[in-house]
Amino acid sequence: MATRVTVTRLREMKRKGQKIVMLTAYDYPTARLLDEAGVDVLLVGDSLGMVVLGYESTLPVTLADVLHHTRPVARAAERALVVADLPFMTFQISPEEALRSAGRLMQEGGAHAVKLEGGREVAPTVARLVQAGVPVMGHLGFTPQSVHALGGYRVQGRTEDAARRLLDDAAALVEAGVFAIVLEMVPRQVARLVTERVPVPTIGIGAGPECDGQVLVLHDLLGLYTRQSPRFARRYADLASVIRTAVGEYADDVRGGAFPGPEHSFDMDDAVLERLY
């Protein structure tokens, strides 16, 4: 069995200048493939609300949803660190509520760590989780659960004041005990400053190449999400077209009688068949 990636290993990778590879995963067979491909961190993100459950945003995703998808990913991953998102309103009410939610994701779901969005305002919650033995990944910049408060899908940290707030938020999260910070949709120069100033790894998504690692939503990478993908995503395959073609050929074969053929069927002994007649 491969050596498990741990939060300590991620910090060592930052120190050595080794880039961290992170992808979303929501089911057993996909997580198994990503793990075998050498992905370091598997994120059971609340992005599942959009790419798996068909919602318009991440806001409707519940703790039960994330638990349901974390279990198979955790069973599949032999090497990767499995991180589960704390959904909207599962950690904002109180640190104790956040602890209960995180505890379920780890105890029932098999996650190795949790991720939550926010800066200084969630630092006390992060500290409470870390104190209880829960590894926490932070998330700054564009935070999807705050999409309405932020005025839509917009790049964050472009002004001097906004950049300083982001730097202060990163410092607060580090002080509270996060083991890594996702930086989403921020100028690459700001991401570079954060990466240089914090001792924990930064994971970029639309934050430039200077981060310690990168994360993408798998459905964007594979071309499975047929709605418009964000500008920062790179499509490495067009599986949507592959699937449409394969299913179309199957449908044609069924309607034309070409499937199933003799090679896909089972026969019985002729003598037995004669007695049936």
26-81 pLDDT tens trace? 999 999 999 999 999 999 999 999 999 999 999 999 999 999 999 999 999 999 99
CB atoms within 10 A of CB 1: 5
Tell me whether residue 228 is exposed, middle or buried, using C-beta atoms within 10 angstroms of its C-beta: 0 to 12, 13 to 18, 19 or more.
exposed
Per-residue model confidence (pLDDT) at position 259:
95
What is the DSSP pairing of strand 136-141 with strand 81-85? unpaired
- Catalytic residue list contains 184: yes
d(CA 56, CA 58): 7
What's the CA gap between 21 and 39, in Å, rounded? Answer: 5
Task: Give the confidence band of 1 by pLDDT, cuts at 50, 70, 90.
Answer: low
Range in 116-120, 143-147, 273-277 the model is least confident about: 143-147
Say if residue 65 carries a ligand binding annotation.
Answer: no
Cite the residue boundaries of each domain of the chain with CATH code 3.20.20.60.
7-237
Length of the chain: 277
> Counting Cβ atoms within 10 Å, is residue 90 exposed (0-12), middle (13-18) or buried (19+)?
buried
How do residues 156-173 score in pLDDT, each as one tens digit?
999 999 999 999 999 999
The pLDDT assigned to 175 comes to 98
46 appears as a binding residue in the annotation: yes
Is 115 among the annotated ligand-binding positions? yes
Q: Which strand (E) or helix (H) includes residue 180?
A: strand 180-184
Average pLDDT value for residue range 246-259: 97
Residue 122 confidence (pLDDT)? 97
- The answer on whether 27 is annotated among ligand-binding residues is no
Residue with token string 């995963």: 25
Average pLDDT over residues 93-100: 97
CATH H-level superfamily of 7-237? Phosphoenolpyruvate-binding domains (3.20.20.60)
Question: Tokens 């590879």 appear where?
Answer: 21
Count Cβ atoms below 10 Å from residue 25 Cβ, excluding itself: 29
Question: What token pair was written down for 1?
Answer: 């069995």
pTM over 0.85: yes
pLDDT over 90 (residue 145): no
Task: Say what the pLDDT of residue 150 is.
Answer: 72
With beta carbons less than 8 A apart as the criterion, state whether 111 and 77 touch. no
pLDDT score of 204: 98
Any known ligand binding at 241?
no
CB contact at 8 A, 20 and 193: no
Instruction: List the catalytic residue out of 184, 196, 263, 274.
Output: 184
Please state, in angstroms and rounded to a whole number, the distance separating the CA atoms of residues 54 and 48.
Answer: 8
